[in-house]
Amino acid sequence: MQNILQFFEIVPSSTRSIFLVSGLGLFLSLEAIVPLFRMDYNKVKHAGINLTFTVITLVINLIGASLIVAAVDFSETHQSGLLNMVELPLWLYVIFGLTLLDLIGAWLIHWLEHRVKWMWMFHLVHHTDPNIDVTSGLRHHPGENILRLLFTTLAVLSTGASFGLVMLYQTISAFFAALTHANIQILNWVDKPLSWVFVTPNFHKTHHHYILPQTDSNYGNIFSIWDHIFSTTSQIDMKDMKYGIDTHMNPSEHSSIKNLLTIPFQKYRRPVGSKFDE
């Protein structure tokens, strides 16, 4: 376990990029072999839109990496954070660390994005995708990326996680983003029991159903346990799945980079069952 943390502590960004590209390649291949849905869409154009957001994300994360490093340095200098309050066996340190980073750095901000209107307007861009595949996990507005970066920094400060643990978490997180959005068929008898602990493909895809209440459920990133603990789970049969968001079903809105970038600054549209006022 110590060797794993040490590896991720010194792993160069180029190696992490290879992990990301390899993961995309793997799931793109699986989408062709065992697709969940045979969707009629221009896969290249669709990927082009989502990968454009990825490039912007990489720039933001590159600039914001100093925040993560500063948070780790602060925790190490002051021995602050939940993980530094008690002496834990290394394996337990890693498990607790990953679950807490996932709670604060992913589940909490995701839940808030569905509860705070101005945050929702940024996150909305992710939900406009009408054809969920492996590239959809990369479709996030720059404003949302900044929010998630800030909450990741908060997670590091709150937990006192080491740099190696943070890098391990982010690598696993990237893998799960690809896995859970990939258009691949998972047998229900495999997906269902795993979904009690981990975010599985079918568990997360319910979150991408185009109408409420499914949209406001299943906020997990790696671990589904937080959704079970906070009673924010929902499940829909995949045969009834329809992707997108009911307020932005027009292709001119969900397939235009210019429009997607300006969505957070447009007038809020109230879907049926919305928790927000006009």
Q: For the full predicted model, state whether its pTM sits above 0.85.
A: yes
- Distance set, CA 120 to CA 28, 141, 156, 266, 269 (Å): 29, 11, 24, 12, 11
Domain ranges of the chain: 22-33+43-265
Q: What is the pLDDT of residue 277?
A: 63
Residues 6+ apart with CB under 8 A from 252: 259
The predicted-structure confidence for 91-131, as pLDDT tens digits, reads as follows 999 999 999 999 999 999 999 999 999 999 999 999 999 99
Where do we find the tokens 């996030």?
A: 140
- Distance set, CA 81 to CA 86, 113, 159, 163, 205 (Å): 10, 25, 4, 13, 33
10 Å CB burial of residue 245 (0-12, 13-18, 19+) is buried
The predicted-structure confidence for 225-273, as pLDDT tens digits, reads as follows 999 999 999 999 999 999 999 999 999 999 999 999 999 999 999 887 6
CA atoms within 13 A on the CB side of 74: 14
The predicted-structure confidence for 68-95, as pLDDT tens digits, reads as follows 999 999 999 999 999 999 899 999 999 9
